[in-house]
Amino acid sequence: MANLRLQRLPSAQPSTALGARIAAIALALVVSGLILAATGRNPLELGAQVVSSSFGSSFGMEDLGLLVIPLILTGLSVTVAQQIGAWNIGAEGQFYAGAFAATAVGLFVPLPDGLSLVAMFLAGAFGGLVWILVPTLARAYANVNELITTLLLNFVAILLVYYVSTDLWRERGGIANSATPRIPAEMPEFWGLVHWGLPIAVVMCVAMAALLTFSRWGYEVRLIGSNPSAGKYAGIAARRHLITVMLLSGAIAGVAGMLEIAGTVHRLQGGISNSYGYLGIMVAVLARGSSVGVIFAGALMAFILNSGIILQTQGLTTSTVLAITGLILFLTAIGDELSHYRIVRDKA
């Protein structure tokens, strides 16, 4: 006689995880289609419109490319912090801090365009690093939960950017009365409107994956994150690694803000993030701790966001679009989790 039970595996087979994710997305689309049909809309026509607008023209592909850059980097920021068992919920604020610092350099430090971009890149990384510094030290030396501190600093950074872009640095008498003047230095174009921030983001993900996988530092970070007691027993400096990883996480989010300024928006203004920092948390969850997986999770999130924009142009309300987006992400997360389970037979 045998009893059946569920057993959770430490990791899922890649094919199983991919199948579960595809099934979850398909189920979410079916449920969303039924809801849209119940409201009198044709889900097949809307779906065809989304696919055609996203992939049927170079303009649609370029939109996806511009969306995926900040999503990859904010997702990577959260993923890096996860490696050591920390949750960086402040990528939104670090994104704004990086954009703020990069704008300051771009507007007020006279340099040739090439040098200005390098200086803006470094300033953006430094801005994100500074913005996570206090939560990092509080966690490392006082064991203060970084979930709360990083989250609260988001609002400070957002309000700071709103203040300088509508007052101190506002373009006087220009077209954009609630934004700074246009920054002279611009990221060169990589493909159409998509700038070189895209390959930079991809390279950063691959480099981080290699660093975490093949270096001693990466091994120690992953060991601390998976088993703090084992790390302590092995004599690893957990506090030092925690500080390094969290500062690196903030710097990556700051770079995302810099690339948005220099490559896409070209001026600092309120709402520049479009919640990329918060969406980066979802990207990290979908990537399940994989730095390379962040690339694909970011691409999926970019497609979902772009689909929402297209659906709004077809007359759907923002609430409906958010509900469909949330359903897709919710079922995808469930599918990822279920892929870790298998049915085993216990012999009595």
For residue 124, tell me if it sits in a domain: yes
Domain annotation covers residue 262: yes
Structure tokens at 151: 């989250």
Instruction: Give the pLDDT confidence score for residue 176 in this predicted structure.
Output: 62
Asked whether residue 131 carries a pLDDT value surpassing 60, the answer given is yes
Average pLDDT over residues 281-293: 88
For residue 145, the 8-state DSSP code is -
Q: Which alpha helices (H) appear in 268-317, and where do they start and end? A: 276-287, 293-313
Looking at residue 175, what is its pLDDT? 62
Contact, 76 vs 258, CB < 8 A?
Answer: no
Contact (CB, 8 A) for 89 and 246: no
Q: Please report whether residue 85 resides in a domain.
A: yes
Q: Is the pLDDT of residue 348 over 60?
A: no
Work out how many domains the chain is built from and give that number: 1
Domain of residue 176: give its range.
66-284
* Token pair belonging to 28: 């979410």
Given this model, what pLDDT does residue 112 score? 92
Contact by Cβ (8 Å): 282, 72: no
User: Phi/psi of residue 82, each to 5°?
Assistant: -65, -25
pLDDT tens readout for residues 172-230? 776 666 789 999 999 999 888 899 999 999 999 999 999 999 999 999 999 898 887 77
Lowest model confidence (mean pLDDT) among 141-155, 193-207, 272-286: 272-286
In a domain, 271, yes or no: yes
Give me the pLDDT at residue 258, please: 96
pLDDT at 256 over 60: yes
Question: Could you tell me if residue 336 is inside a domain?
Answer: no
Q: What is the pLDDT of residue 174?
A: 62
Domain annotation covers residue 209: yes
Percent of the chain at pLDDT above 70? 97
**In Å, how far from its chain's centre is CA 245?**
17
Tell whether 37 is covered by a domain.
no
pLDDT of residue 282: 87
Asked whether the predicted pLDDT for residue 23 surpasses 90, the reply is no
CA distances from 135 to 88, 129, 172, 299 (A): 9, 11, 36, 30
Query: Does residue 187 lie within any of the structural domains?
Result: yes
Residues sharing a CB contact under 8 Å with residue 254, sequence separation 6 or more, in sequence order: 94, 95, 97, 98, 101, 124, 125, 126, 127, 128, 129, 131
| Mean pLDDT across 69-74 | 96
Give yes or no for residue 87 having a pLDDT over 60: yes
